[in-house]
Structure 1
Amino acid sequence: MSTAVHRRYVAFSDAHYAGNLVDGAYALKLFGDVGTHLAIEMDGHESLFAGYSSVEFLAPVRGGDVVEAEATLVKKGNRSRTVAFELRVICRGADDTGRAEVLEPPLIAVRAVGTAVIPADGTV
């Protein structure tokens, strides 16, 4: 099974809601980035994302978090790729002083499954 992983600090400027919450689109953007990384490693092409068959928002993502986005190949067709995504919070701010803690185990925040397609002629 092929997997790609990205880690990122979530800036407080990315928070849009009370409690420093980040919107769900933030996770989907990260899934796009890590899915593109996976496609390049597997196929030598960025691929075209066709859509999600499921998205589950399981826990909050907040400004000050460190997150890990993972894309894992689930199924490979002739041109289609089914990919499972998971966003985990691996570090979280402990208080307003800048202290933070490593979460062990990480907090699973978002899960999704989507389909990417490699164009037949390799172009968009």
Structure 2
Amino acid sequence: MNPPQDADPRVGLVVTHRRYVPYAHAHYGGNLVDGAYTLGLFGDVATEVAIRTDGDEGLLAGYSEVRFLAPVQAGDVLEASCEVVRVGRRSRELRCWAEVVARAEPARGSSAARVLDPPLRVVEAVAALVVPGS
């Protein structure tokens, strides 16, 4: 089945960043990291989305939905992704998610870690990205 002729080619674009979560970002017992850390990663990914789709850094204007599904810990390796799901004149709706792809295992040793297969989904969100008018 062919997409509609007026379908915007930007819809479906996915951008992913991968980041190690340093121990300096742990704020709570058990080396837990606050949820704002992942939301900040979504902002970085959304900036790249805006650059790729509109040639401008744009502005992440807000979230209409955020769900924290599992804890993020210092020593995690996170993948943060955003997909363009709707394109308006100056706005873009993004579906965002973050997954832990590797996690520290301090019980096995001070530098022990393992790859998670499958990755652990930790945050999902829907975001609004605004870009300058043309």
The answer to whether the Cα contact below 8 Å between 2:20 and 2:76 also exists between their aligned partners in 1 is yes
For the residue of structure 2 that corresponds to 1:59, the secondary structure is coil
Kindly name which structure, 1 or 2, has the bigger radius of gyration based on alpha carbons.
Answer: 2
Match of 1:5 in 2: 16
TM-score by length of 1: 0.94
Structure 2 partner of 1:29: 40
Q: Which residue of 1 aligns with 2:96?
A: 85
Instruction: Give the Å deviation of 1:95.
Output: 2.2
Per-residue deviation, 1:93:
1.0
Which letter does structure 2 place at the counterpart of 1:11?
P
Give the one of 100, 108, 115 matched to 2:113: 100
Identity %: 51
The match for 2:26 among 15, 31, 39 is 15
Shift of 1:104: 0.5
Corresponding residue SS for 1:87: strand
Q: Once the two structures are superposed, what CA deviation does each residue of 1:33-91 show, in whole Å capped at 9, x if it has no partner? A: 00101110111011122210000000000000000000110101111100011010000
Instruction: Give distance in 1, aligned partners of 2:84 and 2:133.
Output: 19
Q: Aligned-pair RMSD on alpha carbons?
A: 0.9
Cα offset, 1:18, TM superposition: 0.1
- Count of residues in correspondence between the two structures: 121
